[in-house]
Amino acid sequence: MNPSCNLFIVGPTGAGKTSIGRRLAAHYGLPFVDLDQEIEQHCGASVSTVFELEGEAGFRRRESALLEECSGRQGVVLATGAGAVLDPANRHRLMERGYVLWLQATVEQQLDRLARDRSRPLLAGEDRRAKLEAMALARTPIYQDIADLIIPGEYELIHEASEHSIALIDAHWQRQHAA
């Protein structure tokens, strides 16, 4: 277990990182930071616009710079973007500076949750399923490698998933402190 006072949430697009992160932050009395929203605030433009103007490489540079800054804070709940884990330096920061929660979601859940969402640049165009499957293939081993705790994606309602997450986190911390 990472004894840090920070909670970092990773997982695929549509897993509920932002929604559950807000609830975890409220429960634990910590400020909430959404990395994509931080990027938008710093750039003065949407993530889609940053992708359009700078490409994925430009976006990832901005993401890494802000992850460096945000993960260095003390006592935060931070929801990363789904692809933030692709950079080895980002993975190192997350593992060293916080307790990493992996919110799981199946491709079916992602397709359902993102059915009307057209704001995600990596899902633009045809065959969202194939894109999500390819992302899962590349990212799942990374999420698993850096996670201190895995939160199964079996709950559809945010409040149920949040309560389940809190119970798992608390039980994990209690086991670790008892050892």
Nearest to 7 by CA among 84, 95, 65, 77: 77
Q: Is 36 annotated as a binding residue?
A: yes
Query: How far is C-alpha 21 from the geometric centre of its chain's CA atoms?
Result: 9
* CB-count burial class (<10 Å; 0-12, 13-18, 19+) for 24: buried
Is 60 labeled as ligand-binding? yes
Q: Is 14 annotated as a binding residue?
A: yes
120 annotated ligand binder:
yes
Strands ordered across the beta sheet of 7-10: 32-34, 77-79, 7-10, 99-103, 149-151
Query: Is 147 assigned to a binding site?
Result: no
Tokens of 86: 């692709």
> Is 75 a known ligand-binding residue?
no
The identity of residue 47, as a single letter, is V
Nearest to 87 by CA among 56, 110, 45, 43: 56
Query: How far apart are alpha carbons 60 and 56 in whole angstroms?
Result: 6
19 is in an annotated binding site: yes
What residues form the annotated binding site for ATP?
14-19, 120
What residues form the annotated binding site for substrate?
36, 60, 139
What residues form the annotated binding site?
14-19, 36, 60, 120, 139
What residues form the annotated binding site for Mg(2+)?
18
